[in-house]
Structure 1
Amino acid sequence: MAPRHPAPALRRKHRRARLRTLAFLSPWLVGFGVFFAYPLLATVYFSFMHYNQIEAPTFVGLRNWTYVLGQMPLFGPALWNTLWLVVVMVALRVVFGLGIGLLVTKIKSGVGLFRTLFYLPYLAPPVAATVAFVFLLNPGTGPVNEVLSAIGVSAPNWFNDPDWAKPSLVMLSLWGIGDLMVIFMAALLDVPKEQYEAAELDGAGALAKFRYVTWPSITPIVMFAVVTGVVQTMQYYTQALVAGKLASGVSVGPGSSIQPGYPDHSTLTVPQLIYSLGFQNFNTGAACVLSLVLFAIAMAVTSLLMRKSAGLQTAED
């Protein structure tokens, strides 16, 4: 009759295997605990507290949640601006990045030069790129408006106009499209040439080859670009804040302070509102509530996109 319990040697072997696995996982476990689990739990804790970062936190129940979700006047505009940027900016960046990637892969001569020219704006630091872009679109002295006026086109006020501020930020993001261009270019070059040759033998044109050969091959890369773009745009902060400061006439530097969202709260995003509440007004509880709301929305959208991505890949298989 076989023993009901493993031998001591076998138990020691299993224990060593578990310890070895835990040792390999320990860097990830430490990083997850320090940089994700603890901050998330602390954010949940402080969302039920009144805490000004000076005095000890005191429990206030759902007061912070009630204030943010029902009484804060800027929560609605900030959430709308953030979701608008997520939908418009991510969609246009994916389309524009894919188009530039297709263009670069089709160029026969000087491809290295064009790749460099399209990728260089992405290397510019966010603050420097925003400063340059605001200068170019300055309604009074900017070269873009001067050129438009010279050809008889009524130029908008760009970052000084609430209706044009968010589209101007989208244009800024499209200017630095080099990261997506490189990703899509690598995906396009990885499509088997034999499939294109077979499609040509069947009489497929350029549009048919893209629909039936290129698109199924790059769909996972497109979904990757969409998911990462949504996560990044949910955290959109620097460019909108710097553009608003410059357009309002406030210099960017130490000691300068302005309520974010210029003009008329049209560029106010949820991350800006979180920073303003937590570090300018010392309302840490309300800032934590906003952080959790933003985290929940980002997780919901990402989960939905991942499910759609899995469904598309299953349908293609």
Structure 2
Amino acid sequence: MTTSQSEEHVVLLATGGTISSRMREDLGGAAVASDGADDLLRSVGGEQAFPVRVIDVLRLGSYALDIDDMLLVCARIQEVLADPAVVGVVVTHGTDTMEETAFLADLVHRDPRPVVFTGAQRAADSEAPDGPGNLARAIALAGSAEARGHGALLCFAGEVFPARGVRKTETVRRQAFSNPDFGLAGSVRDDGGVVLEEAARQLREPMPLPAPDAGRACRVDLVASYPGADAAHLRASLEAGAAGIVLQGTGSGNANPELCRAVADATARGVVVVTSTRVHAGPVVPVYGAGGGKDLLAAGAIPSGLLRPSQSLVLLSLLLRLGRSRADIAEAFAERGGEA
């Protein structure tokens, strides 16, 4: 939809994902991100709740994205919000890593106007694609006065979630996301009616976007603890030059004595280690010894609070690219991973 320079409108930033994917016979029937922003908007059909201006940013499955790609999306969001005629932004994105990009966008968002992420579980050329309905509801949400002041949101299958704590919990079902620790923010009806469960939150102090070349020395790896795990993966990360490591612990954030010793070695070398958990809900709480969470804390690891490994990795990556000290990083995780 074409908009005039001064007409209030929503901006659609397209990055690829299932919502834009079509089957390719030359690739053995694999689905590949194909449609651009114009195609996505046409797929919705009819009149939208608000005029929409479309911009293509990327055209990739989100499983192929890296932190630099996600920072590019955040930079584009800030660029379009420099236009006072923009009432909100919709980002179409693959579901695999939508929880990472949406959280990163929320961390750096410094504007009351909403940023809404959406996508699809079924490809654009499937018999019953869910992308058009998700996109129509996301446009209605992004343009609504009710969504102002809520930061970055994720709108999917009629449900609205805050970016912090959201995660993909279904591989193929249409209702793909949940947020067990922070819950629903609201809903959007098929007719575009918006119902938000809570008042606009007091936005945390936004973080700046790092310089474009800040990531060269900021490798962050995710290392899992599991029955029988040794320190081989963690030490390989150190040898590869990791500046930060997110340890996916078990339970309330536990590992074992060998991993705990390796964490102590890593922190002694100046590497920042954050402990998260593979458990679906609840905080990381240092309780246990013999290599458990209390020993990891003594070894210099920082508890992630309520942030799961995916969003812990995003926050740690951003903080390291901004040159923050270990003390500042610990404070940021206490704040961003806290209850409210």
TM-score (norm 1): 0.23
Higher relative strand content: 2
Higher relative helix content: 1
Which structure carries more relative contact order (alpha carbon 8 Å, separation 6+)?
1
